[in-house]
Chain A
Amino acid sequence: MSESSLDRTSRALDLIPFVTNNPGFSLAELADRFNSTPTQIFKDLEMLFMCGLPGYSHLELIDMELSEDYVAINNPQNLDLPRRFSFQEIASLTLGLQALLPLTRNPELADRISILITRLVAMVAEGERAQLELFSVQSETLKGMWDEVISTAALRQSAISIDYLSARTDSLTTRTIFPEFTYSSRGYLYTKALCTLSGEMRHFRHDRIMRAQELPDAIRPEEVRNLNEKAVTIRAILSRRNLYFVEAHPTIVASSTIEDDQIEVTFELGDSEWLLRELSTLPGRVEILHPATFWEAYHARLGAILSLYR
């Protein structure tokens, strides 16, 4: 989609004070920072080269040095300061900070987040302040006992030994993991880490970690398989009651079609064991269309449950 002249004007007005304050960036670096292309940034700067104060003599035009690997503005005229924050910019930052609040256990950090929110809200024009309250973030995250140990290990790039309750295999295992980063997803904290037990990158839910201990001297193995390789395709028909399940897992849903009271879904994922377990917990009809091996595994699992009650 081509951008409007307004979008271009907006970016150009932001470029001038940024380059004035930060001379020496290349076109590629500026493009990266302004989410654009080097060609577009060059065109913007070329345009700005022609802008200035009435009179438009060389003393009144914006003066810059422009080459592919070096951009500097020597005289921004009266555009040396950026524009004030827009309502959207403040909303984006304050709501982002609100989302961070429940993720910290550190009271000092929580205080700092609250102070930043207050300072940003104060920057909103009084008439628009009530509008800011129309948008909110509710994020409650279930904290685990070992969140701090895991996050610290991720920062230090060191290993931890954990006792992990695997829902997939219904087992409690001790393993060494090298955390990469922690993220929150729909109320839970997860850490993506290299697991030396499986030799793969895996996602560990914090509330399932029963014990964690940092291992500062552990050496990270070199080669790993990537669990995220999408190896399996599974097609199924679910009751429409399970729409929330399809919505909540966009990364494994390759396609979905809603028709009357059912949803036909194609899943693409690396771990069919996980899906087998999840599908067996969904209410209502679940019909596996493909592959036959997954159909058999699904029926065997539910058949084993029913046989307990006979």
Chain B
Amino acid sequence: MCRGYQIFRVLYLCHMSSTGSQKSERLINLTMALLASSRFLSKSEIFEIVAGYAGSAETKERMFERDKNDLRELGLDIEVGTEDPLFDDEAGYRIKPSSYAFQPEEIGALDPLDISLLSLAAAHWQNSLFSRSGQSALRKLESILPLLEGESLSLPLMSQEIPESRFESIWYAIKDGRVLSFTYRAGKDSRRRVEPLRMTLSEGFWYVIAFDLDVKEVRRFKLIRIGDDLKVEDSSRKAREFHGTATGAITADVNPADEIDAVILLRVGRAHELRHICNIVEEDSDWDRATARFDSEEDLFEKLAAAGSSALLIYPQESRLKFIAWIGEKINV
């Protein structure tokens, strides 16, 4: 270390206490001091030995309270206690090294395959909270392991999670048990006030399962449809349990009552996508006759429209008439 830099360091440290703008330094110094101490450090000791605390007693007190909260927000477990519980000593503070430091044995040995999987998992996210957290988790692993060299995997590389700016607010609202209010833009715009219960990612979209305080029911809301006026209210939600599964609330299961059997003519050499799901029952020079079961009438219409003029619905007659009207509606604007 060069002498000039050492002198700069000393001058800088002397100067630091007067500027009061080096909050990060103070937080790190405080962390190091609390970690290094095997006993509880009282506030007066902290003010005396940790660099960065300056001003009146009241100022230092306020600074310390804020710093303590900030370190807790960073996930550090600051223990409060006294050396001798039999005496009414001033409360002291410390951080146990075991509660601070990553314990490699907790996650166990990781081989290149594990590393690849964890890297893929971390790379899955487009939302900023998870994307940031996944990468910082990998950096922590790299701080205790040799640099992460994964194994090449024949697994899909990317997810198509739709980036969602409201994710972080809703995540914390669920964790902290807060009420949300927002405009929901579905079939029509409506103002909602909900107690968020769960979040789930399905088909690339995040949903929040929440108790709607106006309709008094558990509903699911697609995050992308939640308006920019999302507000996290100060009020806390009731400790409400959601007993249904998120899966049940989201998956659009096929209702057997909606299923429909159809007879369709398929132009020879065309309508390949429909042929893939149909049984050809009769072949002809121009058209093949086919049968198939569709999840719903809407499903049938979508697949017929996708095949264009290469598919002709024969049966059911009622659906045939409806399909003509369905196509007509799209161009009679």
A27 to chain B, nearest CB (A): 16
A134, B70: Cβ atoms closer than 8 Å:
no
Which residues of chain A from 121 to 148 have any CB-CB distance to chain B below 8 Å in the complex? 122-123, 131, 134-139, 148
A63 at the A/B interface (Cβ < 8 Å)? yes
Contact flags (1/0) for B73-92 with A, using CB distance below 8 Å? Answer: 11110000000000000000
B133, A309: Cβ atoms closer than 8 Å:
no
Across the interface, which residues of B come within 8 angstroms of A255, CB to CB?
A: none
A96, B155: Cβ atoms closer than 8 Å:
no
Q: How far is the CA of A193 from the CA of B264 in the complex (A)?
A: 34
A37 to chain B, nearest CB (A): 16
Contact flag A89-B140 (CB < 8 Å), given A134-B198, A247-B205: yes
Across the interface, which residues of B come within 8 angstroms of A307, CB to CB?
A: 309
B139, A14: Cβ atoms closer than 8 Å:
yes
Interchain Cβ contacts under 8 Å between A and B, 13 examples: A6-B73, A17-B140, A35-B135, A82-B140, A84-B103, A97-B118, A109-B117, A119-B107, A152-B154, A182-B155, A183-B156, A261-B188, A308-B309
Q: Count residues of B near A (Cβ-Cβ below 8 Å).
A: 123
A283 to chain B, nearest CB (A): 7
Contact flag A170-B130 (CB < 8 Å), given A52-B32, A61-B9, A81-B101: no
Contact flag A100-B124 (CB < 8 Å), given A14-B140, A51-B28, A258-B185: yes
Contact flags (1/0) for A181-214 with B, using CB distance below 8 Å? Answer: 1111111010000000000000000001000000
B25, A47: Cβ atoms closer than 8 Å:
yes
B142, A277: Cβ atoms closer than 8 Å:
no
B234 at the A/B interface (Cβ < 8 Å)? no
Across the interface, which residues of A come within 8 angstroms of B230, CB to CB?
A: none
Across the interface, which residues of A come within 8 angstroms of B122, CB to CB?
A: 92-93, 96
CB-nearest residue of chain A relative to B137? A89
Q: Count residues of A near B (Cβ-Cβ below 8 Å).
A: 117
Q: How far is the CA of A58 from the CA of B201 in the complex (A)?
A: 51
Contact flag A54-B160 (CB < 8 Å), given A18-B143, A82-B143, A280-B305: no
B176 to chain A, nearest CB (A): 10
A113, B117: Cβ atoms closer than 8 Å:
yes
A287 at the A/B interface (Cβ < 8 Å)? yes
Q: Which of A85, A104, A139, A154 contacts B102 (CB 8 A)?
A: A85
